[in-house]
Structure 1
Amino acid sequence: MKFKILFVAFLFLSSIDLSAQNQKKVDSLASLLKTANDKEKVLIYESLFRETRGRKMDAAKAYLDSMEVISERTKSNLSRGIYYRAKGVSEGYGKDYKASEKSFRRSISYLEKTDDTLELSHSFNNLGINQRMQGRLDSAMVYHMKSIKIREKFDADPNILGQNYLSIGTVHALFFKYEKAKEYFQKAENIYLQNGNQRMLASAWNRIAVLENKQGNSLQAISFYKKADSLYKLMKYTRGRSLLVSNLGNAYASLDSIQLSNNYFKEAIELARKTGQKQSELLAMSSLGYNAHKVNQYQKALNYYYPALEMAEQGGMYKNQSQLYRKIAETYAAMGEHKKAYDFRGRYMVAYDSIFNKDVRSQIDELEKKYETEKKEAALALQDEEIKTLNEKAKVDKLTKGLYGGGMVSALALFGLSVFGYRQRIKKNKIAREKQEEIYKQEIEHKKKELTSQTLHLVQKNTFIKELMENLENIKKSPEKFKTEFRRIVMLLKKENASDKDWEVFKTYFAEVHNDFDQKLKTLAADISEKEIRLAAFLRMNLTTKEIAATLNVLPDSILKSKYRLKKKLNIDKETDLTSFLNTL
């Protein structure tokens, strides 16, 4: 334990200057290997792996291989847990998120057998990040919260707790819960200020700045971006500065400071080229194109868009490719070249549909493969059963020949029972196989329905956004229509907010994560209404009274009354918290 405390302190103190001290840090870590035992070596190799991944891939792979050798030799659950976590990080770095998820889950399964809850917390956080990268935000939140609960309970290394807070905040931001996200980012900020962790403090400031910019607070965003950038400059962290400087450009663009914005984008491109960050370079190029389009310099915009598109096509960056198709189409439309605009609009639609359907289609393909594999396994199992039965039959025949008259009847009876058993087993296997086939067919059908539901939901949202933008344009063009158009927008927002279709989509996704939740409620209260089930579902998602009120477009007092009635209907005593009770279902 003493070694681990000193080791963690060493890692923190040596991480302050990222570029100047990086090689020195690697050398110092390597020197610790000489006197370390197997458990300590695994921790050191993991740190060496983290220091070299992304920069020296061969060295990182060698450290990962060393971890695997030790974990296999010692058969230690702790060593295996740490190895599979590092393996998951490596796979995630290569964007193989499914393999990465599998490794993180293996890491957790080993670490749960140990007493090292802090290492387990670390793996939960990694799995949360993995789920977030796959778009499974509910699942990501669950694992991040598990990690935080362990960290807070054991008063662990505050810097790692700060990372947990950053992760939770990021998920809240993806749910558009910006105030909640900011709350967690500020918790992380306070930790890093107290502990002097400059790199992570800059990361916290950067995320706060992104939130401020999303909420239209561009000046506050610029202030935080510049604070973060000053730390990155101090640490000579060129790689981190590339995206941050690009974000500064976006913030100035939102203030219509086009020239200043362009200067930051050009600096971001230079930094990205120095560090080989193709995607950062692409984003900055695309932003320069957008700025040019904004001031009606359409040819200049295309001069930025086309090189960015080439980078996206060569790098397999399909989402960026799709966005660039749309931007080029809009530029050609503004130039009056409608044939080219139509061509690129078509490319955008094809690319967008492909990206949108890819994940769900992949899940359906996996289910179909699983279904076929299970079908083959069932057939093989049936064959094995038939061979076994035939062998039994052969034994019975051999026994029959050696028996005298009086024993013949017994042998025949035994044979009859064997045949009967054989037929029963065949019948049983057939029924089991048919049931399994039906289960997989249902799963596949469910995924297809989910795809349809997602598509319809997207269409509804796009229609709503288009109508909203048209109303805003009317206000912009005719200020005298402000009152009329404003009332129309308010009505439109209320209509969208209270959409039953959105509730149905939410209910479908919710049922996948929380099986039979509504049935459990109906068991407790047969007369429970659909509105009360909806309220219970939102509470199960840990939404606050204020958030539920905003979602349902009612006053918070109304939600409090509804909660009281629901608690009474479910026959919950006064001392029991309603949300805590629902979390147990």
Structure 2
Amino acid sequence: MKSLLSIFICLTCLGSFAQTRLSDSLQSVIDHPQISGQEKAVLLNRLAEFYRVNKEYAKAINTARKSISLSSGIKNYTEATKAYLVLLNSRISAQELSNIKPLSDTLVLTANKANAPVALAYAYYGQALLFKVLEHPETVLKYCQMALTSLEKQHDPYIAAKVYYQLYAVNSNWNNGDQAYHYASLATENALNTTDYTLLSNCYNAMSTAYEYKYEAHHQQEALDSILYFLNKSEQLYTRYPGQLNNYAYAITCINIASYYQRFASPTDSKAQGIYYANTARAVLRDAPNSQEVIASSLGILSEYARRDGKDREVEHYLLEAYEVMLTQQSPYYYTMINVTKGLAAFYEGQRDYKNALKFQQLVNEYSSKNFDQQKALKAQKLEIEYQTEKANNELRFLKEREKSQQQKNFLYTCIAIASSLLLFFLFRSYHFRLRYSLQREKQLELEKQDSELQLKLEKEEQARLKAEQQLLEVQQQQLKKEVMANALQLEHKNQMLYNLKDKLAGGDEVNIKKILKEEMILDNDFEQAKLQIQQVHVDFFQLLNERAQRKLTLLDLKLCAYVYLQMDTRQIAQLMHVEAKSVRMSRYRIKQKLGLDKDEDLNAFLQSLNENIRGNRTTES
């Protein structure tokens, strides 16, 4: 047994060294000059939590305060929220309950500053811890559900595992096995996604407890095997991740395994394993602060095995050692102390050592009284916290009611202001309407006057138009007269040509009748043929000419333009039109003026370009 114990002590020293090395390594990284403020805040929170789970509450509180100061200075309110949560949890674990209510309020305010769902989840978890202390499980459930709702927007497996663990704890206290198993499973699932192996160890222990509920309900071997399976998984974390699992958590696992073998395994199979794990728990926590309860529990398990074997001296030794261990605790946990002294009183009574039995029974009474006083003091602190909470809630309710009343007053004042504004607006609109009606009436009269003047003007314009049409008819009549005269002259020319031809024939002159007739026929048909040819090739030619000249071109002008377009020279045109070349040149000049051409512009080039434009437009359309 001594050799086994020495091995356990060596293992414990190695474990303690690893734990110390982890805290020292974290501190060395924190003290590095090149580390950023953001990284330092994260590491300080991790170190503070490490101290808390190791029950080094003073160090945990001091480190958390450093993180709060640093995080607030760099406005990283999410890390500040996490630091406030570690500080709150450390105060609760150390049973320093006097200031936890203001601390929880500050935690919520800091989370609201962070304006991040994960920060709110940490704050709601802190509120759940507060009401767990106040023994209000329904409120604990409410805040846990609020935390989970926030985590739906921004997931964090670490805080999710802690929230689910609290839900497991509440349902476990209610002996609700199914719900305890459900939340323990969710806590384990989230803890597996973190690197906090102490948290994962706690979740494995929760799973073993959940299967214990199943076993008690149905007494199935599968559930019993699952209890040991999860306890073994929790134990394996200590060797798989050396230095990363808290010694205290490992010792709790060892106690639970020893208790399992003591309660459920057969005596022959359970004794060696039970003793091994009870001694391991003692060895791991040797010289560890605030570990007296776990060590006393391990000694209690050892005393029970000794009692079963009838080894009274070992029973006495283990119980007295447990009592001595509990006496070293600065603030004794009286519940454990009562159990130890009861065990000693019962042992000595069984040994008929009534003196010692009386002594320890008196200690039982003394510790019971002290436990009652302690619980009364804690109850008073809880009542004070509840009073502060209720007072804060009443103040908040009063502020809300006052705000609501002020809102109602503001609403009433707003309604009065709106009604006054509407009345003023109505009066203004009424005045404005009457003014506008007067202006519109005046404007309407002005418009009627203008309509009368316009009607009079239109009548005058109509008379002028009729007069212009009459003048146009007169001009057209004069033009017709001119055309009749021109046709008469052309006919006289024909007659004169015939008389000349007759005289030549009568005088016996040689006459080429065919040539004369041919020339006359060409003269008669030339224009019509040329015009027909141009219209067949370019239908819009004469129309464009008239539009350019604004309908100022005469029939003779169009005829001359046709000859020019056919690229005839002045002599040819003069012969065809039976006029002198000078007349042709004068006519070309007048046509250029009508077409708006400069005196230097060539009429032939203009007509050819007009032809090209016609072709270009047709090509574009096609």
TM-score for the superposition, normalised by structure 2? 0.50
Aligned 8 A contact 1:218 1:251 in 2: no
- Spell out, residue by residue over 1:382-417, the C-alpha distance to the aligned partner (whole angstroms, 9 max, x if none): xxxxxxxxxxxxxxxxxxxxxxxxxxxxxxxxxxxx
Partner of 1:314: 328
Partner of 2:233: 227
- Spell out, residue by residue over 1:15-38, the C-alpha distance to the aligned partner (whole angstroms, 9 max, x if none): xx977766545544555974446x
Q: In 2 relative to 1, CA 289–211 (structure 1 residues): closer, same or farther, beyond 3 Å?
A: farther
Q: Runs ≥4 in structure 1, deviation > 6 angstroms?
A: 17-20, 55-59, 74-77, 365-371
The SS at the match of 1:328 is: helix
Cα displacement (A) at 1:132: 3.1
Cα displacement (A) at 1:133: 4.8
Q: Which amino acid aligns with 1:129?
A: L
Cα displacement (A) at 1:290: 2.4
Within a 5 Å distance, the mapping from 1:46-125 to structure 2 comes to: 46-52=45-51, 54=54, 63-70=63-70, 81-125=81-125
Q: In 2 relative to 1, CA 134–299 (structure 1 residues): closer, same or farther, beyond 3 Å?
A: farther
Within a 5 Å distance, the mapping from 1:142-541 to structure 2 comes to: 142-151=142-151, 153-193=152-192, 198-213=197-212, 215-216=215-216, 218-236=224-242, 237=245, 238-254=247-263, 255=265, 256=267, 257-273=270-286, 275-276=288-289, 277-315=291-329, 316-356=332-372, 358-364=374-380
Which deviates more from structure 2 when the two are superposed, residues 17-26 or residues 325-334?
Answer: 17-26
Cα displacement (A) at 1:306: 0.9
The SS at the match of 2:95 is: coil
Q: In 2 relative to 1, CA 312–59 (structure 1 residues): closer, same or farther, beyond 3 Å?
A: closer
- Spell out, residue by residue over 1:493-514, the C-alpha distance to the aligned partner (whole angstroms, 9 max, x if none): xxxxxxxxxxxxxxxxxxxxxx
Aligned 8 A contact 1:312 1:321 in 2: yes
Q: Which amino acid aligns with 1:184?
A: Y
Q: In 2 relative to 1, CA 228–329 (structure 1 residues): closer, same or farther, beyond 3 Å?
A: same
Distance 2:194 2:64 in 1: 30
Aligned 8 A contact 2:61 2:87 in 1: no
The SS at the match of 2:115 is: coil
Cα displacement (A) at 1:107: 0.9
- Spell out, residue by residue over 1:48-86, the C-alpha distance to the aligned partner (whole angstroms, 9 max, x if none): 433455488787566444335446757886676455334
Partner of 1:484: none
Distance 1:19 1:363 in 2: 36
Partner of 2:137: 137
Distance 2:302 2:134 in 1: 29
Aligned 8 A contact 1:182 1:211 in 2: yes
Distance 1:197 1:109 in 2: 27
Q: In 2 relative to 1, CA 186–273 (structure 1 residues): closer, same or farther, beyond 3 Å?
A: same
Q: In 2 relative to 1, CA 117–351 (structure 1 residues): closer, same or farther, beyond 3 Å?
A: same
Q: In 2 relative to 1, CA 55–26 (structure 1 residues): closer, same or farther, beyond 3 Å?
A: farther
Distance 2:126 2:313 in 1: 45
The SS at the match of 2:99 is: helix
Q: Which amino acid aligns with 1:179?
A: D
Distance 1:178 1:296 in 2: 37
Distance 2:47 2:196 in 1: 19
Aligned 8 A contact 1:165 1:187 in 2: yes
Cα displacement (A) at 1:288: 1.1
Q: In 2 relative to 1, CA 324–188 (structure 1 residues): closer, same or farther, beyond 3 Å?
A: same
The SS at the match of 1:147 is: helix
- Spell out, residue by residue over 1:300-327, the C-alpha distance to the aligned partner (whole angstroms, 9 max, x if none): 2111111111221221222211111211
Q: Give the number of aligned pairs.
A: 356
Aligned 8 A contact 2:97 2:382 in 1: no
Cα displacement (A) at 1:229: 0.8
Distance 2:62 2:365 in 1: 44
The SS at the match of 1:308 is: helix
Aligned 8 A contact 1:87 1:100 in 2: no
Which deviates more from structure 2 when the two are superposed, residues 170-179 or residues 74-83?
Answer: 74-83
Aligned 8 A contact 2:334 2:370 in 1: no
Aligned 8 A contact 2:134 2:386 in 1: no
Q: In 2 relative to 1, CA 145–342 (structure 1 residues): closer, same or farther, beyond 3 Å?
A: farther
Cα displacement (A) at 1:131: 3.8
- Spell out, residue by residue over 1:67-112, the C-alpha distance to the aligned partner (whole angstroms, 9 max, x if none): 3544675788667645533432342343313433431232113323
Distance 1:23 1:42 in 2: 16
Cα displacement (A) at 1:252: 0.5
Partner of 1:550: none
Tell me the C-alpha RMSD between the 2 structures: 3.9
Higher relative contact order (CA 8 A, sep 6+): 2
Which deviates more from structure 2 when the two are superposed, residues 142-151 or residues 211-220?
Answer: 211-220
Cα displacement (A) at 1:175: 1.9
Cα displacement (A) at 1:234: 1.0
What is the percentage of aligned positions where both structures have the same residue? Answer: 14
Cα displacement (A) at 1:331: 1.6
Q: Which amino acid aligns with 1:119?
A: A
Q: In 2 relative to 1, CA 297–142 (structure 1 residues): closer, same or farther, beyond 3 Å?
A: farther
Aligned 8 A contact 1:232 1:240 in 2: no
Aligned 8 A contact 1:46 1:86 in 2: yes
Distance 2:378 2:368 in 1: 16
Q: In 2 relative to 1, CA 356–176 (structure 1 residues): closer, same or farther, beyond 3 Å?
A: farther
Cα displacement (A) at 1:352: 2.9
Partner of 2:617: none
Q: In 2 relative to 1, CA 56–113 (structure 1 residues): closer, same or farther, beyond 3 Å?
A: closer
Distance 2:138 2:384 in 1: 25
Partner of 2:494: none
Q: Which amino acid aligns with 1:311?
A: V
Distance 1:367 1:240 in 2: 31
Instruction: Return 5+ residue gaps in structure 1 as ranges.
Output: 1-16, 375-438, 441-585
Aligned 8 A contact 1:218 1:252 in 2: no
Cα displacement (A) at 1:209: 1.6
Q: In 2 relative to 1, CA 147–98 (structure 1 residues): closer, same or farther, beyond 3 Å?
A: farther
- Spell out, residue by residue over 1:163-217, the C-alpha distance to the aligned partner (whole angstroms, 9 max, x if none): 2211211221122222211111112223344667655433321222234346556
Distance 2:192 2:42 in 1: 26
